[in-house]
Amino acid sequence: MRKFEKISFAQFKKDILDDRMLYDSYSLPKRETRCAVGYDFYALFDYIIHPGEIKKIPTGVKAQMEEDDALFLLDRSSMGFKWNVRMCNQVGVIDADYYNNIDNEGHLWICIQNEGEKDYVIKKGDGICQGVFVKYLVTDDDKIKDVARRSTY
């Protein structure tokens, strides 16, 4: 199964805000057109990212996927092209076993850096990144050390 879900309200309160109306109102990622590759993630709040500034932004979303899937979180093309704004890690690679991990339920965050010369303004509900699911391959002689994700925090 491959799907997006909201993090629990308890995790939302811990990571973001104790606001049930906001929790109930935000949208899960979706594709905007039939041929769109990426699922658009949306801002929960208004943000202004000043030149040279970095902001860590919660999505309120977790992703369930098959064991041989990964979710790539990518910049929206207009961010870099028009504004010189990008995700700090360029591409977020989310493993299937990140879902419902013990640290944060698999809550997906992005970190955006403004390398431009003007403020980058994000309004609540604006697209902030896109997620693309991909299948991956492993080598025939693949040997894994551990079968369970460990705490990384």
Mean pLDDT for the chain overall? 95
What is the fold, at CATH topology level, of the domain defined by 3-135?
A: Deoxyuridine 5'-Triphosphate Nucleotidohydrolase; Chain A (2.70.40)
> CA 15: distance to chain centroid?
14
Write out pLDDT tens, residues 109-133.
999 999 999 999 999 999 999 999 9
Spatial contact of 130 and 38, defined as CB atoms under 8 Å apart: yes
Going by pLDDT thresholds of 50, 70 and 90, the confidence category of residue 146 is confident
